[in-house]
Amino acid sequence: MNSPVTTEWISVPTAGGASFDAYLAKPPAGKGPGLVLFQEIFGVNAHIRGVAEQYALDGFVVLAPDVFWRLAPRVELGYEGADRQRGIALAKQLDAGAVAADTVAAAAALRARPEVGGGKVGAIGYCMGGRLAFGAAAGAGVDAAVAYYGGGIHDQLDRAAAIACPVQFHYAGRDDNIPPAAVEKVRVAMQGKAAELHLYPGAQHGFNCWARASYDAASAALAHGRSLQFLSALLF
């Protein structure tokens, strides 16, 4: 049986005249609100494409931009060993200003798609992508954002003042990369805003990824349900 989701790689123009590739997944209805999906350090790999298709099945028009396009276009990495080290190295080489501009370009390109028709656009991301989704809430004009175990958000909380849209955070309770003190900093910084923060006590970093050893099906299912409830209320 063929999937009711249709997918393709498209080209997204930048303000500087260049362009980057992004994976587009369209829902069975052919149209819906937009959702920019930000990758982990492992590229727009099979898992991220699977997540794009998952949210497309839920009714969203999903765009997953190739964040590493300036360094290693369309790179796809695994989660251990040399691949993991390469992903870390690529992430460290990213230019924050350029990535912020790409985030704006991706959100604008998605909103302009005929399948979205100028409707609402949200952002969602995992790990590095969670931080980028947080950045999209601060600077890309999205209507809602969801950040899964966003590494480094607690070091960018000066951007919280610029956030006007609702934001949902998901954190693992046993995350070696994001200690409880960092999660608490995020909670405190977002007080008074339309924000919610969910903690998964037994889960580890990367719990949503079914291709990783840290995958936790129960936590992933609960988080996905919460994300859908949040996004559907705000974007449809």
Sequence-distant (6+) residues with CB within 8 A of 65 are 12, 20, 21, 22, 36, 38, 39, 44, 102, 103, 106
Task: Supply the residues annotated as catalytic.
Answer: 127, 175, 205
State how far the Cα of 117 lies from the Cα of 126, in Å rounded to an integer. 26
Structure tokens at 12: 């997204």
State how far the Cα of 204 lies from the Cα of 74, in Å rounded to an integer. 27
Structure tokens at 150: 């966003």
State how far the Cα of 19 lies from the Cα of 11, in Å rounded to an integer. 6
Which residues are bridge partners to 144 per DSSP?
A: 122
The answer to whether the CB of 111 falls within 8 A of the CB of 33 is no
Structure tokens at 11: 């080209």
The answer to whether the CB of 196 falls within 8 A of the CB of 168 is yes
Amino acid at 124: I
Q: At what angle do helices 96-112 and 128-139 cross, to 10 degrees?
A: 70
Sequence-distant (6+) residues with CB within 8 A of 222 are 200
